[in-house]
Structure 1
């Protein structure tokens, strides 16, 4: 009787293992399937980390109790290796030298969430804004790429363009913005200490956030480098949506209705980002100069958005970072959605992620050097 129970248990666990393997491989298809047609597969990519873990656990389990069954996980992991390789950084123990080496370009990307407080006062939000400015100052970076950047021409509100340009010493900048009314502006900005010889902006099709793809051509020594920055379509979750997610997690009443709203926003977001990603890639392919890309893609590495924009570019986190590299502080600990990418004209020297709860995103810093022509 005990023998039959063991056989049944092993076969039952094997079926579960196979089920996880199939779902894992479907999630691994997300980067290669156009979300316009295959949005369900694109959304399945969000489950990638939560499918990877059971496969690893089953692999360890079978190695002890039935080695031949471990092949199920081994085959699935081998087929999904490309997705695994962009999910984690393996440079454990590497330190970040705060003093920038000669010949390197220090670049920062950060979704600053409008610096938390937009109106001049002395509340907690304004104190956080000052801490964020101090964090930017500490880096002594050559280039700042900031998304969800806020600036106002109204003296009762913060003039962040003027503050960073003068107080942090960034004389050159390009700012994409929409007029929000009352002389307030929100968008993506590139600040530079290198001379800016040209700049440009590409608007994404509506409906989307008041954002665009901006670029700045910077004179670095005798060469020109093109820096791109953008903020792609977000999920536009409101406080009520986060409350719905909490209710879903806690299996409370109304799960179906709550899930319907969340999935609708997920589907809309992934579709618009696919259009934007195609546009970004096409524009970068036309660049006559070496390319650096910094931005908030609002999408994970195992996605059509990331694979399309990155293509054969170097991901600074994967080159020099470690772990999962979470950059968004809400929803899930697996969300790496902010990136620094460099084409093959550059070498990545070092990378750092600042895990400080100022914005809802973490600041990323990388030191990059131009290769010889």
Structure 2
């Protein structure tokens, strides 16, 4: 029994080490060591294993449970990017923003348009919109970019593409909200383009090894491509003369290099006012958050939710409300 407990302690330390390793993405780039970014993908699974081990120590009435709980609490912010229970804000919102990857309308473009029209959003971000993105009731639009688009109910003063160098796309749009100019930045980072048949686990061990090699061979170049995209977008945010709302499909999870870089100096609306889980991509049946809404400190987040009532795409719509002073 003592040997089993010792092995469990070693396993628990190993799990916590991996969890801590994922937070190093804040300082280590994919070009330097991309495996840390892969580690960020496993964060929810590792945290579940960590919670199970803590429960085991509590059941066994071992004092080391206190130590492991304390070490877990040190990672409360990384945890809150996946699961959060913020108190309800007392502020009154005057701006509603929605972002959604609509998958080219493959789930039914008319249904998507009807949903977006009835959402009550003032500004709608779209990714993978295909040939056009014209939601009824939104007279101010951008349809000049290939992957990303924006529809607004209020005056759009200027929009411009951000010159990223990879297969993703980003642009900014300056929109007047309640008399104040806000720069909205729509982001779609380079996609992974997995073949589902090569990702789904098999019964054969050798086949699974091949699948893991395929996954790594797909992830690593994409993470490296993200690095250059992120640097350009981050520079655009820093140079903005107006407060920023950054949203879109980042094709990267919380605690990744992309997350740390793009959220630098901004507020994650989910962390500030979100409740429940942040999972926004449902195609792989595992918890994945790759859709985000961030804002400048002078913009006050009031509410945040992922609308999972209907599947209109392989992404759920993400909706946030803000107070613009």
The normalised TM-score by structure 2 is 0.92
RMSD over aligned Cα atoms: 2.1
Aligned equivalent of 1:215, options 172, 182, 185: 172
Q: Which residue of 2 aligns with 1:68?
A: 63
1:231 corresponds in structure 2 to 188
Partner Cα separation in structure 2 for residue 176 and residue 320 of structure 1: 33
Give every structure 1 segment of 4 or more consecutive aligned residues whose post-TM-superposition deviation is greater than 4 Å.
none
**Aligned partner (choices 137, 141, 160) of residue 173 of structure 1:** 141
Q: Does residue 245 of the first structure (1) align with residue 199 of the second (2)?
A: yes
Q: Which residue of 1 aligns with 2:222?
A: 269
Q: How does 1:319-358 map to 2 (within 5 A)?
A: 319-355=272-308, 356-358=310-312
Tell me whether 1:108 sits opposite 2:61 in the alignment: no
Matches of 2:268 and 2:324 in 1, distance apart?
15
Deviation at 1:143, TM superposition (A): 0.7
Q: Which of the pair has the greater relative contact order for Cα pairs under 8 Å at 6+ separation? A: 2
Q: How many residues align?
A: 323
- Structure-2 separation of matches of 1:108 and 1:314: 16
CA gap 1:72/1:264 in 2 versus in 1, 3 angstroms: farther
Shift of 1:8: 2.3
Q: 2:99 aligns to what SS in structure 1?
A: strand
1:129 aligns with 2:109: yes
Q: Which whole-Å CA distance do the structure 2 matches of 1:222 and 1:323 have between them?
A: 34
In structure 2, the partner of 1:359 is 313
1:154 alignment counterpart: none
Q: Would you say the 8 A contact 2:117–2:137 is kept in 1?
A: no
The 5-angstrom pairing of residues 262-301 of structure 1 reads 262-301=215-254
Point out the more displaced range, 24-33 or 186-195: 24-33
- Return 335-344 or 24-33, whichever deviates more: 24-33
Tell whether 2:14 aligns with 1:25: no
Decide whether aligned partners of structure 1 residues 138 and 36 sit closer, same or farther in structure 2, where only a CA change above 3 A counts. Answer: same
Q: Which residue is 1:12 aligned to?
A: 7
Instruction: Work out the CA distance in 2 between the residues paired with 1:41 and 1:317.
Output: 23
Q: Given the two structures, how large is their TM-score scaled by the length of structure 1?
A: 0.81
* 2:93–2:302 contact (8 Å) kept in structure 1: no
Compute the displacement of 1:316 (Å). 1.9
Q: Deviations over 1:153-204 (max 9, x none)?
A: xxxxxxx34x42xxx1212122342xxxxxxxx3101111111111111121
Superposed counterparts of 1:32-51, under 5 Å? 32-51=27-46
Structure 2: distance between partners of 1:173 and 1:246: 39
Q: Aligned residue for 1:255?
A: 208
Q: Find the aligned partners of 2:267 and 2:182 in 1 and give their Cα distance.
A: 16
CA contact (8 A) 2:282 2:316 kept: yes
* Structure 2: segments with no counterpart, 5+ residues: none
Output one character per residue of 1:192-225: Cα deviation in whole Å (capped at 9) or x when no partner. 111111111112113x2xx422111112232211
If you compute each CA radius of gyration, which structure gives the higher value, 1 or 2? Answer: 1
CA contact (8 A) 2:281 2:316 kept: yes
Give the SS at the match of 1:317. helix
Deviation at 1:282, TM superposition (A): 1.0
